[in-house]
Structure 1
Amino acid sequence: MRLPQVKTLFCKRHVLSQFVRFTHQEHQTSKSVLYPLSNRKLLNVKGSDASVFLQGLITNDMRHFEDGAKSVYAMFLNNKGRVMYDTLVYKWKDDDSYLLECDSSIINAMQKHLKMYKLRRQLEIKDVNNEIKLWALISPSRSDIANDSLHIYKDPRLNELGLRIISSVSVNETQITDIIGSDITIENSDNGYKYLRYKLGVSEGAEDLPPGTSFPLEANCDYLHGVSFHKGCYIGQELTARVHHTGVVRKRLMPLKFTSDVKDIQQDTAITASNNLKTSIGKLKGTIQDYGLGLLRIKEALDAKMLKVEDYEAEVIKPSWWPIEAPREVTAKKEQN
C-alpha cells in the first residue's frame, strides 16, 4: 500500500471514529450525578514564575492557558520517563496562580517534588485543602459557570468525564445543587465515578499509576490530550518524544469487562488469553465491581476472544475515544508485510 493510500485510509477511519464517539455520547444518560472526590487534593502554585516553572516539569504545554484554556491534563515524569504523578492543572483566580489536582495519598510527595525544583524562582507552593475541596459532576448539559464559592471546569480529558467542581470547604452538596440546579443525584462516595472511569478505560491516581512504574503513553496520556510533542524540554521528555516519533506503543491501559463482580485480586496479577493460559499478555491494575483496568499488549488482547485473570473471565474493550488507527501504526504494519 502506498503512503497516500495510508493517509486516505486513516482519514476515513478518523471520520468513522468521530461518528462512533458522537453516537456513543448521544446515547449517554441525561441524568446528572454529583460525586465527592475526597481522594483528590489540591496544591496552589502561585507567583510570577509559576507558568515557566510548571512548563519545565509537566508533559503538557502551559501556553494553552494563554490561548484561553481553563484546565489541562498532564503528568509529572521522572528522569527515566516514567510517570510520577498524574494531574489536572486549573487556572486559578489570579493571573499567575494555578491549582494542581493530585491523588491525596501522594500530595506530600508531590509538594516535595515541586519544591525540589523551585530553586530561586519567584513562586509559592501551598497545600490549600483546608480552604477548598473537589467534586465531579457527570452531566451531559452543564457548562463552565462560577460564583464566589463555586468554580466549574470541563474535564480536559473526555467529555464523558463531565465537570470538576472546586468549592470552598464550607459549601455542601445541597448548596451546590441550589447553585447549579436541583435535578442532580448526590452520591456519598466516588465509587460510581471510579466505575465510570474504569468503564471508559481512564486511569487516575497512585492506585492505577503507582509512582515510577508506568510510561505516559502506555497510560494513554497522549490520547487524553495530556502530552505536547511541540513544547520545549521537560523532565522525562526525551524518552517520551522518542517513543512517539520512532516507535509503536504496543502496550496500553485498556478496560476489562468481567463476566461477574471481581473480589480479592491483587494488582499486577497476570492476564492471559483463555486459550493460552501459559503466556501473559498483560497485568491487572485495578477493579471495581465487574470492570477492571489492565495494561495489555494491544494486538494479543484484541485477538483473544476471552481473557483470564485468576479464576475470572473478561473481555477487553477498545475505548471508543481511541483513534481507530494511528498513521505511524498503519505505516509500521505496512512495512512488516
Structure 2
Amino acid sequence: MISYRKVNHLFFKRNVFNQLLRHSHGDPPKARLFPLKNRKLLKVHGNDAPVFLQGLITNDMRHFEEGAKSMYAMFLNNKGRVLYDTLIHKWDSAESFMLECDNDVLNMLQKHLKIFKLRRKVEIEDVNQNFRLWALVSQCDDAIDTKTNTQSNVNIYKDPRLADLGFRVLSTQDTDGVQIVKNISKDIVVENDDVGYQYLRYKLGVSEGASDLPPATCFPLEVNCDYLHGVSFHKGCYIGQELTARVHHTGVVRKRIMPLKFNQTVENDMEKDTILSSSSNPKLNLGKLRGFVHDYGIGLVRIKEVLDAKVLNIGKYTAEAIKPSWWPIEAPKEKVSKLEQE
C-alpha cells in the first residue's frame, strides 16, 4: 500500500515537472537535459585525497567508502561562513574525485585547496578543457541508468540533494547533447540553456553557485545544507565546524533560503539583494532576494516573519514565501530538549 506521504510527494514532483514544461506543446517529454555552462570541475586525486578533503568540507568523505557516488558539501571559512558550495563525484578510483563548483569561483576554490595541500600526496587539476556538466531532470528516475564508467564519454550521477533535482551528467567536452541522449533515452529534450533548470531550483527553494550564495555572506544551515544532506554532525574537525555544530545543537536557525512565489513574472529591472518587507509593516527588513526566474525566486529570509506576513513587498512586486515540502517536520524545542536528556 502506498502511503499518503509518498502519494503527496509524487503529486508534488509531477506538478513541479509540469510547471517546468509549461511552455511545451503537445505531449511533454519525459526528461530534459540542461547544459550547465556556469558550473566547472576540479579533479582532486592522489593517495591523500580523501583525508585532505575530509578536513575542508562540511560533509563526511567516508560516505564514499559506504557506496555513495556523489555528495553535496560546502567549503567554509574559519568563521563558519560558506565560501563555496560543491557536488563531489567519485571518479576513477577510491582516491579520485571530481569537484563541481561555480565558474566565477573556480580559481578561488583551486587556490583555497592549494593553500591547505601542504605536503599531502594530492593533485588538483582544472579539467574543464576535457569535461562539461549537464543537469538531467526526468519524470521517471528509474529509467535512468546511473552506472559510471569513467572511460566512457558520459557518466550519470543521481543528485544527492533532492530526488526532484534529477541527475548530474558529466560528459567529455566533445560530446554534445544529442550524443548524450542517444546513450540514455530518445525521449529527452536537449535545452540550449539552464534557465528551465534554474526555475526548477527556485521553485524547490534550492540555492546553487556564487550568484545565490555570495562567498562569506551566510552560514551553511541558513542555506539548508543540513536539509540537503550536505553536512555531517558526527565527523571530526573541519574548517568552520565549531560554529556550525553550535548552531545545530542550539536548534535555532532563524533565517533560511526559501522559495518566493511572485504575483506576476518578474522583469530584469529588479536587482538582487532587494530587501523584502511585509505589506503590513514596510519598514521591517525580512530578508534579501537572492535570485529570480519568471514568477519564482529565492531569498535568505526570516522564516517565522515571512510566513506570518503572507504578502511580501519586493521592489515593485508582491510575493509569498513558501515553506518547501521537503523540509523536515521539526519537533517543538521543548520536546527536543526532553529527548536529548533521555
Whether the TM-score (by the shorter chain) exceeds 0.5 is yes
Matched, 1:221 2:189: no
Does the C-alpha gap of structure 1 residues 41 and 247 become closer, same or farther in structure 2, counting only changes over 3 Å? same
Unaligned runs of 5+ in 1: 1-14, 333-337
Kindly indicate whether the alpha-carbon contact (under 8 Å) linking 1:88 and 1:100 is maintained by their aligned counterparts in 2.
Answer: yes
User: Which amino acid counterpart does residue 222 of structure 2 have in structure 1?
Assistant: E
Matched, 1:24 2:12: yes
User: Which amino acid counterpart does residue 304 of structure 2 have in structure 1?
Assistant: K
Tell me the SS of whatever aligns to 1:279. Answer: strand
Q: 2 CA distance for matches of 1:183 and 1:69?
A: 28
Tell me the SS of whatever aligns to 1:212. Answer: coil
Q: 1:163 aligns with which of 167, 178, 185?
A: 167
Matched, 1:304 2:292: no
Matched, 1:199 2:198: no
Kindly indicate whether the alpha-carbon contact (under 8 Å) linking 2:159 and 2:167 is maintained by their aligned counterparts in 1.
Answer: yes
Kindly indicate whether the alpha-carbon contact (under 8 Å) linking 2:261 and 2:296 is maintained by their aligned counterparts in 1.
Answer: yes
Matched, 1:249 2:261: no
Residue 147 (structure 2) aligns with: 145
Q: How big is the shift at 1:143?
A: 3.6
Name the stretch that deviates more: 146-155 or 24-33.
24-33
Matched, 1:325 2:330: yes
* Deviation by residue 1:47-71 (Cα, 9 ceiling, x = unmatched): 0000000000000000000000000
Kindly indicate whether the alpha-carbon contact (under 8 Å) linking 2:145 and 2:184 is maintained by their aligned counterparts in 1.
Answer: no
Q: Pairwise mapping of residues 84-233 of structure 1 onto structure 2 (< 5 A)?
A: 84-141=83-140, 142-147=144-149, 148-233=152-237
Unaligned runs of 5+ in 2: 19-28, 338-342
Matched, 1:266 2:271: yes
Q: 2 CA distance for matches of 1:160 and 1:268?
A: 27
Residue 6 (structure 1) aligns with: none
Does the C-alpha gap of structure 1 residues 244 and 18 become closer, same or farther in structure 2, counting only changes over 3 Å? farther
Residue 57 (structure 1) aligns with: 56
Q: How big is the shift at 1:43?
A: 0.2
Residue 9 (structure 1) aligns with: none
Q: 2 CA distance for matches of 1:174 and 1:17?
A: 37
Q: How big is the shift at 1:16?
A: 7.3
Does the C-alpha gap of structure 1 residues 81 and 314 become closer, same or farther in structure 2, counting only changes over 3 Å? same
Matched, 1:280 2:288: no
Residue 23 (structure 2) aligns with: none
Q: 1 CA distance for matches of 2:334 and 2:324?
A: 17
Q: How big is the shift at 1:327?
A: 5.2
Q: How big is the shift at 1:118?
A: 0.1
Does the C-alpha gap of structure 1 residues 188 and 139 become closer, same or farther in structure 2, counting only changes over 3 Å? same
Residue 79 (structure 2) aligns with: 80
Structure 2 length as normaliser, TM-score? 0.89
